[in-house]
Amino acid sequence: MRALDHDFNPTEKMIPFGIYLPRYQEVYLYFTNSKLTSDFIADCLDDFWQSQRDRFRQVKTLLLNLDNGPENHSRRTQFMRRITDFADTFQINMDLAYYPPYHSKYNPIERVWGVLEQHWNGSLMDTCETVIKFAQTMIYKDQAPVVKVLKKVYHTGVRLTQKEMAKLEERFERLPQLPKWFVHIAPVIADN
């Protein structure tokens, strides 16, 4: 008999991504059994905004507090392309604010992950369904999260050419003192 050093069957995995709205104490958890990529993160944001934008019609700028991970940092070409497309599609300003390395403790979503870890602490995570059930039954700030699984194959290594990125970079307003830590993206005004 062969032993596994992790709970999961090696053919199954679940990758999480979370969106937390501190003002409303709402949590939106997304999972994929593919890969954590810029496209997965952008699809999560797109799904979230499509489902919630009617609540926030007065919002003209979305501020995303990000952890500066390799899939979503401000020099990741595919991520920046997808966020720029998001701004254009939804006609909304995007402000990307990044936490510096080793400062994730200040990111409120980290507390959500801590509660989820405690919720399933010691339990056998042997199937994707088990992971989702635990996520759905977690309570954070007296509320259960909205949990969704994105069933799409995400490929790593998707990137823009230097020329494409240079053109896209013209759209960004980077904070002069902190160019990789804060980026403003205004939408191209759609013709009606």
Owning domain of residue 23? 15-185
What does pTM read for this prediction?
0.90
Is residue 129 situated within a structural domain?
yes
Q: Is residue 190 part of a domain?
A: no
Query: Is residue 7 included in any domain, yes or no?
Result: no
Q: How many domains is the chain partitioned into structurally?
A: 1
pLDDT lower than 70: segments of the chain: 1-11, 192
DSSP code, position 98: E
Go through the chain and tell me how many residues it has.
192
Q: What is the pLDDT of residue 37?
A: 97
pLDDT at residue 101, as a whole number: 79
- In 67-186 the beta strands, taken as DSSP E runs, fall at 93-98, 146-149, 172-174, 182-185
Exposed, middle or buried: residue 158 (CB in 10 Å: 0-12, 13-18, 19+)? middle
